Amino acid sequence: MANIEDLVVQPPQSATWQVHLDRSMWVGGVRGLMLQALHPLAMRGVWQNSNFQEDPFGRLRRTADFVGRVTFGSPEQADEIGRRVRGIHKALRIHDPDTGRTHRVDDPELLLWVHCAEVSSYLEVARRGGLGLTERQADRYLHEQRKSAAYVGLHPEDVPGSCAEMDAYFKQMRPVLRVTEEAASTVRFLMWPRLPHELRLLSAGKPAYFPFGALCYYTLPDWARRMYGALPEVPRATVTAALRAFRLGMNSLPEPVHDHAFMPATREMLRAARERLGAAGYDVSKGLKGLTDPRRWPRAPAA
Distance of alpha carbon 255 from alpha carbon 118, whole angstroms: 23
- Predicted confidence at residue 96, as pLDDT, reads 92
Which tens digits make up the pLDDT trace of 165-180?
999 999 999 999 999 9
Whether pLDDT at 1 is above 70:
no
Give CA–CA dist 156/148, Å, rounded.
9
- Enter the pTM of the model: 0.93
How far is CA 127 from each of CA 6, 140, 144, 152, 277, rounded to the nearest angstrom? 29, 14, 17, 26, 27
Does the pLDDT of residue 194 top 70, yes or no? no
Which residues does 203 contact at the CB level (< 8 Å), separation at least 6? Answer: 195
Q: What pLDDT was estimated at residue 50?
A: 85
- For residue 115, pLDDT beyond 50: yes
* Average pLDDT value for the chain: 92
Question: Taking the domains of the chain in order of start, what are their residue ranges?
Answer: 9-254
